[in-house]
Amino acid sequence: MKISIGSDHAGFDVKRDLIEYLKSKGYAILDCGTDSNESVDYPEFAHKVGFTITKLEANKGIVICGSGIGVSISANKLKGIRCALCTSENHAVMSRKHNDSNVLALGARMTDFEMIKKITEIWLSTEFEGGRHQRRIEKIEV
């Protein structure tokens, strides 16, 4: 599985550490930036990740900013992206089972790294249930 990952300056350290963690688990990573703690605008990196999903360059994406809110809003502006801001293991499960989220948003300043690793592992390993949930997903884009 290839995972696209991007962050703004607030999420840079978590992105760097999460990339190393995911590589150690055997995932292929596409790093969409940023490359430092220098101030940048989060929508650029959320959009880069989202486009890798819509262009089928990656299977799933992860976006990180300070709260996770800005990147999730930005990613969800792209047609075909279902980005879920997850702050708990249950959010990760439900965002995949019921919403077939294809991008995970994380808040570097809101969630400790051990929980981020757990959320990410669960999100990556949980399958979409389909069925009635597929019908609902088809109603999201208007």
Clarify whether 83 is annotated catalytic.
Answer: no
Name the E strands within 14-76: 28-31, 60-65
Query: Strand ranges (DSSP E) for the chain?
Result: 2-7, 28-31, 60-65, 83-85, 103-107
Asked if 98 is an active-site residue, the reply is yes
109 CA to centre of own chain: 16
Select which of 32, 47, 65, 86 is catalytic. Answer: 65
**Positions marked catalytic:** 65, 98
